[in-house]
Chain A
């Protein structure tokens, strides 16, 4: 079975500061990993995904994430927060013993950006 843990349900950052959202996974086989963003009253939108091509993945809106197999982590970062980054962020894993795999989502991290 696979699972995802997001450390911190709420994160507050100052505008211009580093955004760091933590995600750890457990999986019996190498998984595929995703970060999604959800703005208020909207659906989830893909930020970036890791599919084994490169361990450092760049996504939309200046976000990137690094896959570290030894640490079973896929942390999301952005060098300089913008007010528009205020949203909820979800880490997800897919894969496992099935070739297609169900998605498993973390509990989410709410990001607040202060001026």
Chain B
């Protein structure tokens, strides 16, 4: 059981480039989400999804797009990378019940130069 798989683990982008961070889970979880982690700021929610075809914005959605065409996959797209998007990105999934925990991927460390 692989859990939540994120790729790539590391990425360096130039300002203005676009890229997609991949996230896949094999636990048939309805809820998937993307967070960014910056020092002293904890985890901030970027976008989330409660099922295939349904996505919504979190607290820091600007500059990011998501889609959910299948239950398993939830890619995060950076449209035009900016240095302010340098961060560690985590994907998480969970069942759609409030008494269940989130399962996290290993993270993607992104540097925008």
Contact = CB atoms under 8 A, between A and B. Distances in A.
A43 interface: yes
A46 B107 contact: no
Given A100-B96, A100-B97, A106 B42 contact: yes
Interface residues of B, number: 25
A108 B42 contact: yes
A96 B98 CA distance: 9
A75 to B, nearest CB: 17
Interface residues of A, number: 29
Contact of A103 (B33, B50, B97): B33
13 contacts: A32-B99, A34-B101, A34-B102, A42-B106, A43-B104, A43-B106, A49-B101, A92-B102, A103-B45, A103-B92, A103-B94, A105-B35, A107-B42
Interface of B: 4, 31, 33, 35, 40-43, 45, 48, 50, 58, 90, 92, 94, 96-99, 101-102, 104-107
